[in-house]
Amino acid sequence: MKAAGERLVSYLFILPAFLLVVVLLLVPMFQNIYFSFFDWDGISRPVYSGIANYAKLLVDRDFLISIRNTVAWVGFTLVFPVLGGLLVAVFVDGVRFERFFKSIFFIPLTISFVATGIIWTYMFGKELGVLNNLFALLGLPLKPSWLTGVPLNTFSMLIAWTWQQLGTNMVMFLMGLGTIPKEPIEASIIDGATRFETFVHVKLPMLRPITTVVITMAMVNSFKAFDIIYVMTRGGPYHSSETLSVTMFRETFTMFKMGYGSAIAVFLSVVVIGMSALYIRQMAKKDLLYY
Amino acid sequence: MRSARKLPTYLILIVLVLLWLLPVWTTFLVSFKSAQDFMSQKFYELPTRVSIVENFRTVMKTYRLHEHFLSSLLYAVSGAGIAIAVSSMAGYSIVRLKPPLFFLLFLLIYSGTLFPFQMYLIPVYRLYNTLGLYNTRIGLILIYAAICTPFALFVYRGFYTTIPKDVEDAAKIDGAGPVRTFFSIFVPQSLAPTAVVALFQMTWIWNDLLFGMVLSRTQNIRPIMVALATMSGYGGGNIPYMMTGVIFTSVPTILLFVLLQKYFIKGMAMSAVGH
């Protein structure tokens, strides 16, 4: 009697969370896969079109440009926000005024991507923007079209992205550096290793678990980048700076090609899940050990 | 040996700090300028007339940012609040009551966080149109709560496994059932996970652009970041107003970070293993 009551309570406690996630996230995901096989404008009746949407992906010039840009986002992210974040973490670690330096790189984390995009739209302004006027002040004969030049606009947005993201990675790497025991480092210095050698041969291998997490999160997040691009260029001019998320949004909600948008979403998800695989495995391992 | 590396390290750090502060400093400076000053002055010059109050007034009067501000406050508080309520209950049940298939249920709910938003955006948009939830406050609150739930469950589940069992066992002997145990023993101890979830999820909801754009249409419903993004209108817009808008809309998240600072690192450590 009591056991049955407890059983009921145990399910009732899970039910609301279960319903929210299943109804609003999981079922729609399957519907999305289903829609990707239809031609649908969002209003009239969907028409079954087989794999036409997927076939179109292979020949759609805008989509291929979008993939190229997305790859640029991921590659650039690994070099600047991630490797840069690691270097800044190493520089900042144990330095005098550590707290001050950390908090500077931390500031952009507290504001949104939309705000970041707007701030950098001003920084990059052609006539009144800060950077071009700074160049003029320094006597440099440069006046780039940061946000309308192709492919410069993608790199300009990646500068804004680095400004926003570097702090997250720095915090994660500092967390990892904090867990490294002192003995092996001291031993390596006594053995006559330089700071650089100690870093490469002792610290870096010990940072491996956190590095996996940082790299995966950074890759996934840059692969999904949307807000900054939407605010700074809307993917333009002429779709030249779109990434997959922006292309999906445009096809779906401005062109009303819902089926095609669904197919792009499926593509996006497959890549994201593939990128996360390593990290999911590591997490699962940890989870099983932990509990 | 140590001092040899100090100088270059400081030099690099100082250069980086200046680069990082340049956008912050210019944002504040511009928000104090009038449109005329902005057009006629160099970016580093101080305004001839402090116009920030006027800029604020326009940002509210013309762009109604304070109304979006209140809407988003509602979304952030209730979205994260619902996620916290349903996830702490589910987490408790999964950790302690362990109904059949509890681990599968956990994985199922947790899997909601692995996919990009685009994967369910279109069907949710369609569902909302069918159910009349499109362009409603309740609709936005529900989708925000749903998206926050997997991570929140992950945090509560992790935390509840660390609560020792002896107090509960004593309560059980006193005849307390699972419901009373949850409310009198688990809820009062949940400050840390709740602070982590509140910080991260309220910030996420506040900063959301995508769902706000797709699931709402009118000014009285649209969240703050959609309003801010619309102010810019593709490269145009009045820059002093926009910078004032940036500052105004960033106040809540900056405050949250300052107030809940110590939970930020904790949350980063947790999200390192699963967001």
Q: Provide the ipTM.
A: 0.92
Structure tokens at B49: 């007339």
β-bridge partners, A38: A48
Which amino acid does the sequence have at B105?
L
User: CA of A165, closest CA in chain B: separation in Å?
Assistant: 12
Q: Which tokens in the block code for residue B109?
A: 């709910």
What is the rounded radius of gyration, in angstroms, for the C-alpha atoms of chain B?
23
Contacts of B90 in chain A (CB under 8 A): 13-14, 16-18
Which chain B residues are within 8 Å of A35, Cβ to Cβ?
122-123
When CB atoms are compared, the residue of A5, A18, A261 closest to B105 is A18
Distance in angstroms (rounded) separating the CA atoms of residues B275 and B271: 5
Q: What is the pLDDT of residue B168?
A: 83
The reported pLDDT for the residue numbered A289 is: 47
Judge: A175–B178 Cβ closer than 8 Å, yes or no: no
Residue B1 has pLDDT above 50, yes or no: no
On the CB side of A167, how many CA atoms lie within 13 Å of its CA?
Answer: 21
Chain A residues whose CB is inside 8 A of the B256 CB are 110
Pairwise CA distance, residues B113 & B147, whole Å: 7
Which of B9, B97, B115 is the closest to A269 by Cβ?
B115
Q: Which of A24, A109, A130 sits opposite B146 (nearest CB)?
A: A24
Kindly state whether residue A36 falls inside one of the protein's structural domains.
Answer: no
Predicted confidence (pLDDT) per residue in A33-49, tens digit: 999 999 998 888 899 99
The 3 state secondary structure assigned to B29-67 is: HHHCCCHHHHHHCCCCCCCCCCCHHHHHHHHHHCCCHHH
Share of chain B above pLDDT 70, in %: 95
Percentage of chain B modeled with pLDDT above 90: 63
| Domains contained in chain B, CATH given | 2-51 (no CATH), 63-272 (1.10.3720.10)
User: Rounded to an integer, what distance in angstroms lies between the CA atom of residue A174 and that of residue B209?
Assistant: 30
**B-chain residues within 8 Å CB-CB of A101?**
13, 17
What pTM was estimated for this model as a whole?
0.93
**Residue A126 falls within a domain, yes or no?**
yes
Instruction: Name the token pair of B30.
Output: 């511009």
Residues of B in contact with A291 (CB under 8 A): 161
Q: Quote the domain boundaries for residue A213.
A: 53-290
With respect to residue A9, please indicate whether it lies within any of the assigned structural domains: no
- Chain B positions in Cβ-Cβ contact with residue A108 (cut-off 8 Å): 20
How far away is chain A from the Cα of B246, in angstroms, using its nearest Cα?
Answer: 5
Q: Taking CB atoms and an 8 Å limit, are B43 and A11 in contact across chains?
A: no
Contacts B143 to A, Cβ<8 Å:
24
Do the Cβ atoms of A28 and B123 come within 8 Å? yes
Residues of A in contact with B241 (CB under 8 A): none
Q: Please answer yes or no on whether A253 and B214 come within 8 Å at the CB atom.
A: yes
d(CA A179, CA B18): 30
Predicted pLDDT at A288: 53
CB pair distance less than 8 Å for A13 and B26: no
In this complex, which of B26, B86, B105 lies closest to A16 when CB atoms are compared? B86
Nearest CA distance, B124 vs chain A (angstrom): 6
More confident residue, A284 or A167: A167
Query: Domain with A221 in it: what CATH number?
Result: 1.10.3720.10
Question: Distance (Å) from the C-alpha of residue A105 to the closest C-alpha of chain B?
Answer: 7
Give the gap in angstroms from C-alpha A217 to the nearest C-alpha of chain B.
8
Tell me, yes or no, whether A43 lies in a domain. Answer: no
Contact call for A35 and B13, based on CB within 8 A: no
Q: Is the pLDDT of residue A1 over 80?
A: no
| Contact residues, chain A, for B177 at CB < 8 Å | 5-6, 9
How many A×B Cβ pairs under 8 Å? 261
pLDDT tens digits, one per residue of B23-60:
999 999 999 998 888 888 888 888 888 889 999 998 89
- Residue A41 belongs to some domain of the structure: no
Backbone angles phi, psi at A38, to 5 degrees: -125, 155
pLDDT, tens only, A222-262: 999 999 999 999 998 999 999 999 999 999 999 999 999 99
Q: Rounded CA gap, A32 and B194, in Å?
A: 33
Q: In B, which residues are within 8 Å of A227 by CB distance?
A: 209-210, 225, 229
Per-residue pLDDT tens digits for B224-268: 999 999 887 544 568 999 999 999 999 999 999 888 888 888 787
* Tens digits of residue pLDDT in A52-98: 999 999 999 999 999 999 999 999 999 999 999 999 999 898 888 88
Question: Is A273 domain-assigned?
Answer: yes
- Could you tell me which chain A residue has the CA closest to the CA of B250? A111
Is residue A123 assigned to a domain?
yes
Say how far apart CA A32 and CA A265 lie, in whole Å.
Answer: 8
Residue A215 domain-assigned (yes or no): yes
Locate B191 and state its tokens: 């400050």
Distance (Å) from the C-alpha of residue B54 to the closest C-alpha of chain A?
20
The domain total for chain A is 1
Q: What are phi and psi of A47, to 5 degrees?
A: -115, 130
The partner residues of A48 in beta bridges, in order of sequence, read A38
Which of A25, A189, A196, A280 is best to mutate for the B interface (most B CBs within 10 A)?
A25
**Chain B residue closest in CA terms to A103:** B17
Hey, are the CB atoms on A122 and B269 less than 8 Å from each other?
Answer: no
Of A91, A163, A272, the CB nearest to B23: A163
